[in-house]
């Protein structure tokens, strides 16, 4: 587990969370290119999608900000990782490994950190970050938040599930919530999660 602490020493730097960019992924890009029946985005092709996502990242995330990607940076074609990373102007990009991040460890030098799970302390707001959604996580009964990806908004948009103080921060969730394929400002995430009720199962941890 990688630990990252962001406090007053970071100054005015913003922190952004995202996941599941799937850069250059043909089938997720849109109906004209997809072999799927559903679950795709609304772009002409994978190249238009990739341009749009990268442009949106650079529009919102500054050179000196901190960007944390919770997995699936590109889709299988690992040789394009250096080029795609190089097109993001933000200098501090942390990566949490997802299921489609084939051979991404070869490019660890392109990222500020690379891990399976991250424990993030953002000005006293504690997070457990992972590509996959956790049903329970460390200190969830003590107010620790959980952010994940992988599900492409299929979990978080479900109206009847008590998922507690956790959410999908992938760009498909951002499109539904914010109207754009872009990263979440961590303050947006805290605002959403602070209003969510604790999952009843979080009390189990207190006795462990």
Lowest mean pLDDT among 70-84, 122-136, 160-174: 160-174
**pLDDT tens digits for range 147-183:** 999 998 888 777 666 578 999 999 999 999 999 999 9
* Cβ density class 110-121: b for 16+ within 10 Å, e for less: bbbebbebbbbe
Lowest mean pLDDT among 39-48, 113-122, 157-166: 157-166
**pLDDT tens digits for range 17-39:** 999 999 999 999 998 888 887 78
Secondary structure of residue 62 in the 3-state scheme: coil
pLDDT of residue 8: 78
Please report the domains of the chain, with CATH numbers, ordered by start residue.
Answer: 2-207 (3.60.21.10)
Does residue 69 contact residue 18 with C-beta atoms inside 8 Å? yes
Q: Which helix (H) or strand (E) holds 171?
A: helix 171-178
Mean pLDDT of 93-98: 97
pLDDT of residue 161: 67
Output phi, psi for 200, to 5 deg.
-55, -30
Give the residue among 105, 126, 110, 11 at the shortest CA–CA distance from 62. 11
Rounded to whole angstroms, how far apart are CA atoms 189 and 187?
A: 5
Q: How much is the pTM? A: 0.92
Lookup: tokens for 79 = 């040789």
């Amino acid at each position: 587990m990688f630990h990252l602490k962001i406090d007053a020493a970071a100054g005015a730097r913003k922190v952004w969370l995202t996941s599941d960019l799937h850069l250059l992924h043909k089938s997720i890009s849109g109906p004209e290119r997809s072999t799927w029946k559903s679950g795709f985005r609304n772009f002409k092709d994978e190249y238009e999608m990739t341009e749009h996502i990268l442009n949106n990242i650079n529009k919102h995330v500054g050179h000196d900000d901190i960007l944390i990607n919770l997995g699936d940076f590109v889709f299988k074609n690992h040789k394009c990782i250096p080029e795609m990373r190089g097109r993001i102007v933000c200098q501090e990009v942390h990566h949490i490994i997802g299921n489609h991040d084939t051979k991404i460890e070869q490019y660890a030098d392109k990222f500020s950190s690379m891990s399976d799970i991250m424990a993030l302390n953002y000005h006293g707001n504690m997070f457990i970050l992972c590509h996959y959604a956790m049903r329970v996580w460390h200190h969830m009964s003590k107010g620790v938040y959980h952010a994940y990806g992988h599900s492409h908004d299929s979990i978080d948009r479900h109206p009847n599930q008590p998922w507690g103080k956790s959410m999908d921060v992938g760009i498909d969730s951002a499109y539904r919530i914010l109207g754009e394929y872009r990263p979440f400002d961590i303050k947006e995430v805290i605002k959403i999660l602070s209003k969510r009720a604790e999952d009843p199962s979080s009390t189990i941890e207190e006795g462990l």
